[in-house]
A and B are shown apart, each in its own frame.
Chain A
Amino acid sequence: MNHLDKLEAQSVHILREAYREFKSLVMLWSIGKDSTVLLWLARKAFFGHMPFPLMHVDTHYKLPAMITYRDRLALEFKLDLIVGENTAALAAKETFPDGKLSRIDCCRKLKSEALKHTLSGEWPRLRIDHATGTLVPDPSREAFTGVIVGARADEEGSRSKERYFSPRDKQNDWDVGDQPPELWNQYKTDFAPGTHVRVHPLLDWTELNIWEYIHRENIPIIDLYFNHGDGKRYRSLGCYPCTGPVESEARTVAEIIAELRTGKFANIAERSGRAQDKEDGGGLETLRREGYM
Chain B
Amino acid sequence: MPAIIPNPEPSADSRSQMSIVIVGHVDHGKSTIIGRLLAETGSLPSGKLEQVREMCRRNARPFEYAFLLDALKDEQAQGITIDTARCFFKTEKRHYILIDAPGHIEFLKNMITGAARAEAVLLTIDAHEGIQENTRRHGYMVSMLGIRQISVLVNKMDLVDYDQAVFERIKAEYTAFLKNLQIEPVSFIPISGMEGTNMVARGAATPWYSGPTVLEQIDAFAPKAAPVNFPFRLPVQDIYKFTEQNDDRRIVGGTIETGTIRAGDNVTFYPSRKKSRVKTIEYFNGPEKTTAAAGEAPGFTLHTQIYIKPGELMVRDDETPPHIGSRFRVNLFWMGHAPMIRGKTYKLKLGAARVPVKLAEVLNVLDASELSSVQNKQQVDRHDVAECVLEAAKPVAFDVAGEIERTGRLVIVDNHEIAGAGIILAPISDEDSTLKEHIRQREAMWRPSAITRELRINAYRHGAKFIVLTGESAAAGERVAAALENLLFRGNFKAYYLGISNVTSGLDADRAAVTEIDSEQIRRIGELARIMTDAGLIFITSLPGIDEHDLRTLELLNQPHEILVVNLGENRFTGYTPHLSLAADATPEAAAAGALQLLKQKEVILEYYL
Given contacts A160-B86, A183-B112, contact A16 B284 (CB under 8 A): no
Contact B9 A212 (CB under 8 A): yes
CB of A49 closer than 8 Å to a CB of B = yes
CB of A217 closer than 8 Å to a CB of B = yes
Chain A residue nearest to B48 (CB atoms) is A267
CB of A64 closer than 8 Å to a CB of B = no
How far in angstroms is the closest Cβ of chain B from A77? Answer: 11
Q: State how many residues of chain A have any CB contact under 8 Å with chain B.
A: 59
**Chain A 64-115 interface residues, beta-carbon cutoff 8 Å to B:** 78
User: Which of B13, B46, B247, B284 contacts A267, CB < 8 Å?
Assistant: B46
Contact B78 A3 (CB under 8 A): no
Which residue of B83, B335, B421 has the most chain A CB atoms within 10 A of its CB atom? B83
CB of B156 closer than 8 Å to a CB of A = no
**Chain B 223-245 interface residues, beta-carbon cutoff 8 Å to A:** 226, 237-238, 240, 242, 245
Contact A154 B78 (CB under 8 A): no
CB of B327 closer than 8 Å to a CB of A = no
Contact A181 B109 (CB under 8 A): yes
**Chain A 250-293 interface residues, beta-carbon cutoff 8 Å to B:** 254, 257-258, 261, 267, 281-283, 285
* Top-10 shortest CB links A-B: A183-B116, A181-B109, A190-B416, A12-B297, A9-B297, A157-B76, A186-B411, A16-B237, A49-B242, A13-B255
- Name which of A30-38, A40-48, A137-145, A227-235 contacts chain B: A40-48
Contact A176 B80 (CB under 8 A): yes
Residues in A whose Cβ lies below 8 Å from that of B145 = 183
Contact A47 B251 (CB under 8 A): yes
How many angstroms from the CA of A78 to the CA of B242 in the assembled complex? 13
CB of A132 closer than 8 Å to a CB of B = no
Contact B295 A6 (CB under 8 A): yes
CB of B282 closer than 8 Å to a CB of A = yes
How far in angstroms is the closest Cβ of chain B from A164? Answer: 10
CB of B310 closer than 8 Å to a CB of A = yes
Contact A215 B7 (CB under 8 A): yes
Given contacts A9-B295, A47-B242, A179-B110, contact A161 B80 (CB under 8 A): yes
Contact B295 A186 (CB under 8 A): no
Interface size class of chain B, counting residues whose CB lies under 8 Å from the partner chain: 35 or more
How many angstroms from the CA of A183 to the CA of B111 in the assembled complex? 11
Given contacts A1-B296, A78-B245, A185-B255, contact A176 B16 (CB under 8 A): no
Which residue of A1, A13, A180, A258 has the most chain B CB atoms within 10 A of its CB atom? A180
How many angstroms from the CA of A177 to the CA of B110 in the assembled complex? 9
Contact A157 B77 (CB under 8 A): yes
CB of A61 closer than 8 Å to a CB of B = no
Contact A218 B242 (CB under 8 A): no
Contact B7 A216 (CB under 8 A): yes
Chain A residue nearest to B107 (CB atoms) is A177
Residues in B whose Cβ lies below 8 Å from that of A47 = 240, 242, 247, 249, 251, 253, 282, 284, 299
Residues in B whose Cβ lies below 8 Å from that of A8 = 297
CB of B500 closer than 8 Å to a CB of A = no
Given contacts A181-B113, A215-B9, contact A13 B297 (CB under 8 A): yes
Chain A positions 1 through 26: 1 when the CB is less than 8 Å from some CB of chain B, otherwise 0: 11111101110110011011000000
How far in angstroms is the closest Cβ of chain A from B355? Answer: 13
CB of A188 closer than 8 Å to a CB of B = yes
Contact B7 A20 (CB under 8 A): no
Residues in A whose Cβ lies below 8 Å from that of B77 = 157-158, 160-161
Contact B237 A158 (CB under 8 A): no
Tally of A-B Cβ pairs under 8 angstroms: 154
How many angstroms from the CA of A17 to the CA of B352 in the assembled complex? 9
How many angstroms from the CA of A45 to the CA of B237 in the assembled complex? 11
Chain A residue nearest to B311 (CB atoms) is A20
How many angstroms from the CA of A8 to the CA of B9 in the assembled complex? 15
User: Which of A20, A158, A190, A267 contacts B347, CB < 8 Å?
Assistant: A190
Residues in A whose Cβ lies below 8 Å from that of B5 = 218
Chain A positions 146 through 164: 1 when the CB is less than 8 Å from some CB of chain B, otherwise 0: 0000000110011011010
How many angstroms from the CA of A46 to the CA of B297 in the assembled complex? 11
How many angstroms from the CA of A209 to the CA of B78 in the assembled complex? 26
CB of A192 closer than 8 Å to a CB of B = yes
Contact A181 B335 (CB under 8 A): yes
Q: Which residues of A contact B (CB under 8 A)?
A: 1-6, 8-10, 12-13, 16-17, 19-20, 43-49, 51, 78, 153-154, 157-158, 160-161, 163, 176-177, 179-186, 188, 190-192, 212, 215-218, 254, 257-258, 261, 267, 281-283, 285
How many angstroms from the CA of A46 to the CA of B253 in the assembled complex? 9
Contact A48 B247 (CB under 8 A): yes
Chain B residue nearest to A49 (CB atoms) is B242
Residues in B whose Cβ lies below 8 Å from that of A177 = 80, 82-83
How far in angstroms is the closest Cβ of chain B from A286? Answer: 9
Residues in B whose Cβ lies below 8 Å from that of A1 = 226, 295-296
Chain A residue nearest to B76 (CB atoms) is A157
How far in angstroms is the closest Cβ of chain A from B351? Answer: 8
Given contacts A181-B335, A215-B7, A216-B9, contact A51 B242 (CB under 8 A): yes
Residues in B whose Cβ lies below 8 Å from that of A185 = 255
Residues in B whose Cβ lies below 8 Å from that of A183 = 112-113, 116, 145, 411, 418, 421
How many angstroms from the CA of A10 to the CA of B242 in the assembled complex? 23
**22 A-B residue contacts at CB 8 Å?**
A3-B16, A4-B9, A9-B296, A13-B297, A16-B297, A43-B284, A44-B284, A47-B240, A48-B247, A49-B240, A157-B77, A158-B77, A161-B85, A163-B113, A182-B116, A183-B112, A184-B421, A188-B417, A188-B418, A190-B413, A190-B417, A216-B6
Residues in B whose Cβ lies below 8 Å from that of A212 = 9-10, 12
Q: Knowing that A47-B240, A160-B86, A182-B418 touch, tell me 20 more A-B residue pairs with CB under 8 angstroms.
A: A1-B295, A3-B16, A3-B17, A9-B255, A12-B255, A13-B237, A20-B238, A47-B251, A48-B1, A48-B285, A51-B242, A154-B88, A160-B76, A160-B85, A161-B85, A179-B83, A183-B113, A183-B411, A183-B421, A216-B9
How many angstroms from the CA of A160 to the CA of B75 in the assembled complex? 11
How far in angstroms is the closest Cβ of chain B from A173? Answer: 15
How far in angstroms is the closest Cβ of chain A from B73? Answer: 9
Chain B positions 72 through 102: 1 when the CB is less than 8 Å from some CB of chain A, otherwise 0: 0001111010111110100000000000000
Chain B positions 404 through 432: 1 when the CB is less than 8 Å from some CB of chain A, otherwise 0: 00100101010011100100000000000
Contact B411 A217 (CB under 8 A): no
How many angstroms from the CA of A188 to the CA of B253 in the assembled complex? 20
How many angstroms from the CA of A279 to the CA of B84 in the assembled complex? 26
How far in angstroms is the closest Cβ of chain B from A44? Answer: 5
Residues in B whose Cβ lies below 8 Å from that of A17 = 237
Contact B113 A218 (CB under 8 A): no
How many angstroms from the CA of A16 to the CA of B88 in the assembled complex? 29
How far in angstroms is the closest Cβ of chain B from A255? Answer: 10
How far in angstroms is the closest Cβ of chain A from B179? Answer: 25
CB of B349 closer than 8 Å to a CB of A = yes
Chain A residue nearest to B238 (CB atoms) is A20
Chain A residue nearest to B145 (CB atoms) is A183
Contact A285 B113 (CB under 8 A): no
Residues in A whose Cβ lies below 8 Å from that of B4 = 217-218
Residues in A whose Cβ lies below 8 Å from that of B296 = 1, 5, 9
CB of B448 closer than 8 Å to a CB of A = no
Residues in B whose Cβ lies below 8 Å from that of A44 = 283-285
CB of B45 closer than 8 Å to a CB of A = yes
How many angstroms from the CA of A215 to the CA of B7 in the assembled complex? 6
How many angstroms from the CA of A22 to the CA of B85 in the assembled complex? 29
Residues in A whose Cβ lies below 8 Å from that of B226 = 1
User: Which of B80, B85, B245, B409 contacts A184, CB < 8 Å?
Assistant: B409
Chain A residue nearest to B144 (CB atoms) is A183
How many angstroms from the CA of A169 to the CA of B416 in the assembled complex? 13
